Amino acid sequence: MKIPPLLDLSLLRTFVLLVEEGSVTRVAARLHRSQPAISLQLNRLEQLVGRKIFEVNLRRPKLTSHGETLLSYARKLLELDNEARAHLSADEVSGRVVLGCPDLYAAFLLPRILARFQADYPNVEVTVHCALSRQVAEAVENNGVDVALVTHNPEVRPNLANVTRLRREKLVWLGAEGGSAHLRDPLSVAMLPDGNLYRTFALGALDAQGREWRIACVSESIAGLQAIALSDTAVIVLAQSVDVRGLRQLDQSDGLPSLPEVELALWQRQRGWSTAADHLASYIIGELKLRLE
């Protein structure tokens, strides 16, 4: 009986990235490889599994039923690979790491990731520094933050950081369940301070729609924005993956314009100076770059 060939993890990583990015061009840029090289990797993967995993061509990737099945297993295998690497090296890693991020990510993205990291690296102490992205950038430059998880913004970036661009997040409007804030004219909105990308995109979309608006509240705290929205005083804008009980997503059927995606990014002050910081950065990349939460 012929034994089927083993799956190659590097091919699976490329496959998962293509599914998440939806573009060979973007995958090639992230992996620093040519587009033909990416296409060859995916063709090789199809040969290994003996099934077509994409429909027609790779310009607009669409998974076949076999591709959907493979995607589920690929993510599990890559997660196991990350876990194995972490456990094998965990006992040798120790130290203190300061992780900077806006409180949105501290509240909704990081709890599970940090819990798993601490379980895998019990000798590493992680301190979380919550602040707006501009303030986090300053802290990175001033050596106050080692690793940062932020919203990618070309205008906000520390001069010393290594940047890894992660997954994309769709922005959505949120309002109180059963509320009427979205029907008011002018529209009442609660926003983060000026310079925040969520705010820029939201107000730009309203202006393009011709919808009049007024800022009812400015808060640096996501909790503050949530409270305003829950009281039906105003609508807010957050990432689609954020689930807040008592709030519902609002869209064009509610009279609000569609919003673009933002991209998560990881800043690392300096690779190689701290093994603990390097491992935390790699861990976050593995959690957020290869999987949709």
The rounded Cα 148 to chain-centroid distance in angstroms is 12
For residue 225, give both structure tokens. Answer: 């924005």
Phi, psi of 200 (to 5 degrees): -60, -45
- Is the predicted pLDDT of residue 236 greater than 90, yes or no? yes
CA quadruple 18, 21, 24, 27: dihedral sign: negative
- Is the predicted pLDDT of residue 194 greater than 90, yes or no? no
- Is the predicted pLDDT of residue 291 greater than 50, yes or no? no
Task: Count CB neighbours of 212 within 10 A.
Answer: 11
pLDDT band at 240 (very low <50, low <70, confident <90, very high): confident
CA separation for the pair 123, 93 (Å, rounded):
7
Task: Count CB neighbours of 229 within 10 A.
Answer: 27
pLDDT band at 293 (very low <50, low <70, confident <90, very high): very low
Coil, helix or strand for 25? helix
Task: Count CB neighbours of 264 within 10 A.
Answer: 21
Beta strand segments in 58-212, E: 95-101, 124-130, 147-151, 162-176, 187-191
CA separation for the pair 247, 8 (Å, rounded):
43
pLDDT computed for residue 87 by the predictor? 65
- What average pLDDT does the structure give for the chain? 87
Query: Which pTM value belongs to this model?
Result: 0.67
CA separation for the pair 109, 130 (Å, rounded):
13
Mean local confidence (pLDDT), 92-101: 88
CA separation for the pair 30, 270 (Å, rounded):
20
- Is the predicted pLDDT of residue 276 greater than 50, yes or no? yes
Mean local confidence (pLDDT), 235-255: 91
Burial class (CB in 10 A: 0-12, 13-18, 19+), 214: exposed
Q: Is the peptide bond before 186 cis (omega within 30 degrees of 0)?
A: yes
pLDDT computed for residue 86 by the predictor? 64
- Is the predicted pLDDT of residue 144 greater than 60, yes or no? yes
> pLDDT (tens digit, 9 = 90+) per residue, 99-128?
999 888 888 888 888 998 888 888 899 999
pLDDT computed for residue 292 by the predictor? 38
For residue 116, give both structure tokens. Answer: 């798993």
CA separation for the pair 190, 174 (Å, rounded):
10
* CB contact at 8 A, 13 and 289: no
What domains, with CATH codes, occur in the chain? 9-87 (1.10.10.10), 93-165+268-289 (3.40.190.10), 169-262 (3.40.190.10)
Task: Count CB neighbours of 181 within 10 A.
Answer: 21
> pLDDT (tens digit, 9 = 90+) per residue, 145-193?
999 999 988 888 888 778 888 888 899 999 999 999 999 999 999 999 8
pLDDT computed for residue 60 by the predictor? 65
Mean local confidence (pLDDT), 257-279: 88
pLDDT computed for residue 3 by the predictor? 61
Lowest mean pLDDT: which of 3-7, 98-102, 221-225, 247-251?
3-7
- Is the predicted pLDDT of residue 25 greater than 90, yes or no? no
> pLDDT (tens digit, 9 = 90+) per residue, 50-81?
888 888 665 667 888 998 899 888 888 887 88
pLDDT computed for residue 4 by the predictor? 66
Show Cβ contacts of residue 178 under 8 Å, excluding neighbours closer than 6 positions. none
For a pLDDT cut of 70, what percent of the chain falls above it?
92
Beta strand segments in the chain, E: 95-101, 124-130, 147-151, 162-176, 187-191, 213-218, 236-239, 247-250, 261-268
